[in-house]
A = this chain, B = another copy of it.
């Protein structure tokens, strides 16, 4: 029993009228896309997408990504019709405070929303991450008599998504990997905010995607039969990702706004909404009206899907047994951090090692323990120490736990988000810290969406050296710390690096960034502190017998330099406490008492960090001594730069000596 075209028309009309009413009531929103894509959405949701509104985390559900997130009312209308618990009351609260229907879809806010979208191009790359996760998952768990994972990933993408560079990056990789269960429908309406896409966008999109090795079709996006045939053909194509270029009319069905850019981002107005509803065969005066027949058609589809769901559950019980079941459960169980620690390397205090290298060794051990840890670098694997030997790698037509992202940082970040959205996996990505800038939009969405993602950002200061200012992060620690819900951790040595990884793996409520050194660092321990104190964000690494004369706050590679300085100062009778301060965010979550005990009260403070001062005043105060680097770096060997900028034991000791004397004179 399949939906008739009449049913589809009814669903499309309902999507249109609900969207119009909600946007008009909110007096804010984007009607053009919701109207223009309603026909496509009706066919996709009415006849193809397989899901179960009662179990929205079903592992084998088809994923649906609305990359053009501004068309949120399209999605909310569908979620309402298909019984995801979005009520008409919710829809009436579109774009209102604490509603379940925010302006752009938010994965954490609304049941059934798979991705947080809005910033263009993000959803496009998220879907590719989901498809990678899907293929990894299928490879792990299929292979019995029947496949357990055989779903698809669908997305609706817009002109804006296609224009953004991230989508070219992601599409190129998707074509390379041969993600054959990915079906994207491109809502080609020819309209952007500034007017016709002809203003700036005349590329041959079909040819471009063919160059990326995609399967490309072109259709009329308002013809149910064409849409259906194209989706069927896309289903049959399992070796390449599919792009269906659907020519649509923005604001389709509106009384007088069809094809006009003004319909993109603003309500159509009471009059036009009335006229449009009449035009669509509805009563212009009825608001938020859903015909019973629309509910019935969707319920019939849901029942049909429920059968498939039940059959899948039976299949799952047959196929996923014994070791396979245990493995499956490991994907969906948070790692036991203390047990995991036992399996990780302990580092020899006699052997200096760069924290990026330590991270590489830790990652190797983690790969053995956690089958669901996957990721890679944007072509800097050998420098980031993120490629784990002995495990499979992505390649032409194949996925692997080691993902070669290519020189595509932005897509990497959003693909990582897609893998995290998918569920079951913990994804990591890697590049030089300075190139975090290339993927910042993706990091921000991971933080908004509360995704568990790990960033391995190496070469974390001017100590990059010869490569010079373009490759030396100076403001990046500050800029990363600025992002809410992102834990930034800059370990001081190999031992802290292990703990930083464990922190990241234990943190399910958001992403964690590891800032790691290029250069070798001593493995530190003293005064009975433990690297596990990293879990407090900051701790006293070197105490003093009595009250200290100065408290030095330092992170990463500057901690060992500060310890050196403290030893020098000790010989001169200046008692320096050294605080290893790997993470502001973690420290801020500690009780005030603890924080006060670490920082001390009324004791002169010095901050030593090879980055800008910004933000440290909160911990050290305006009158502290700042040994920081507040301008871009220079191209030179890193030891030369360390001398020049004063980041040596002697250099720091000298500055602190003068500072303490001045304070004492006062």
Chain A positions 480-516 with a Cβ under 8 Å from a chain B Cβ? 481-485
Question: Does the CB pair B395–A199 fall under 8 Å?
Answer: yes
Cα distance, A482 to B408, chains bound together (Å): 25
Q: Which residues of A contact B (CB under 8 A)?
A: 26, 28-29, 69, 95-99, 102-104, 106, 116-120, 159-160, 163-169, 172-173, 175-176, 192-194, 197-208, 210-213, 377, 379-383, 387, 393-396, 404-411, 434-435, 437-438, 440-441, 444-445, 447-448, 465-471, 474-475, 478-479, 481-485, 612-615, 617-618, 621-622, 630-632, 634-637, 640-641, 644
Cα distance, A630 to B484, chains bound together (Å): 7
Question: Does the CB pair B201–A435 fall under 8 Å?
Answer: no
A539 nearest CB across to chain B (Å): 20
In-complex Cβ contact of A164 among B169, B393, B621 (8 A): B169
Cα distance, A468 to B468, chains bound together (Å): 38
Contacts of A395 in B (CB 8 A): 198-199
In-complex Cβ contact of A437 among B102, B208, B444 (8 A): B444
- Known A-B contacts A194-B379, A644-B97; the reply to A407 vs B163 at CB < 8 A is yes
**Interchain Cβ contacts under 8 Å between A and B, 25 examples:** A96-B640, A103-B466, A103-B467, A106-B635, A119-B435, A119-B438, A119-B471, A159-B407, A164-B438, A168-B168, A172-B201, A176-B200, A192-B407, A193-B379, A194-B381, A194-B387, A205-B211, A206-B211, A437-B440, A448-B470, A474-B484, A484-B631, A613-B618, A614-B615, A614-B618
Question: Does the CB pair A478–B176 fall under 8 Å?
Answer: no
In-complex Cβ contact of A160 among B172, B204, B379, B484 (8 A): B379
Contacts of A160 in B (CB 8 A): 379, 407
Cα distance, A395 to B622, chains bound together (Å): 52
The 10 residue pairs across chains A and B that have the minimum distance between CB atoms: A165-B165, A200-B406, A102-B635, A168-B168, A207-B211, A97-B636, A617-B617, A118-B470, A475-B482, A95-B466
Q: Which residue of B lies closest to A198 (CB)?
A: B396
Question: Does the CB pair B211–A203 fall under 8 Å?
Answer: yes
Cα distance, A447 to B213, chains bound together (Å): 38
Cα distance, A70 to B211, chains bound together (Å): 28
In-complex Cβ contact of A176 among B203, B211, B377, B383 (8 A): B203
Q: Which residue of B lies closest to A484 (CB)?
A: B631
- Known A-B contacts A164-B165, A483-B475, A614-B478; the reply to A203 vs B213 at CB < 8 A is yes
Cα distance, A206 to B396, chains bound together (Å): 19
Question: Does the CB pair B26–A466 fall under 8 Å?
Answer: yes
In-complex Cβ contact of A212 among B118, B208, B482 (8 A): B208
Cα distance, A102 to B116, chains bound together (Å): 42
Q: Which residue of B lies closest to A478 (CB)?
A: B482
In-complex Cβ contact of A470 among B69, B475, B631 (8 A): B69
In-complex Cβ contact of A407 among B164, B173, B438, B621 (8 A): B164
Given A95-B468, A163-B379, A437-B444, 11 other A-B residues pairs in contact with their CB atoms under 8 A: A95-B636, A97-B636, A164-B169, A165-B165, A165-B167, A165-B410, A194-B382, A198-B395, A448-B469, A484-B612, A485-B631
Question: Does the CB pair A466–B193 fall under 8 Å?
Answer: no
In-complex Cβ contact of A199 among B175, B205, B213, B406 (8 A): B406
- Known A-B contacts A211-B211, A622-B621; the reply to A193 vs B437 at CB < 8 A is no
Contacts of A640 in B (CB 8 A): 96-97
Which of A28, A176, A395, A407 counts the most B-chain CB atoms under 10 A from its CB?
A: A407
In-complex Cβ contact of A377 among B194, B632, B636 (8 A): B194
Question: Does the CB pair B468–A632 fall under 8 Å?
Answer: no
In-complex Cβ contact of A406 among B118, B163, B380 (8 A): B163
A160 nearest CB across to chain B (Å): 4
Cα distance, A632 to B98, chains bound together (Å): 13
- Known A-B contacts A176-B200, A410-B165; the reply to A475 vs B484 at CB < 8 A is yes
Question: Does the CB pair B200–A173 fall under 8 Å?
Answer: yes
- Known A-B contacts A193-B381, A405-B200, A475-B484; the reply to A172 vs B163 at CB < 8 A is yes
Contacts of A212 in B (CB 8 A): 203, 208
Q: Which residue of B lies closest to A626 (CB)?
A: B618
Cα distance, A293 to B293, chains bound together (Å): 87
Cα distance, A323 to B163, chains bound together (Å): 41
Question: Does the CB pair B466–A29 fall under 8 Å?
Answer: yes
Question: Does the CB pair B641–A97 fall under 8 Å?
Answer: yes
Question: Does the CB pair A28–B637 fall under 8 Å?
Answer: yes
Contacts of A478 in B (CB 8 A): 478-479, 482, 614-615
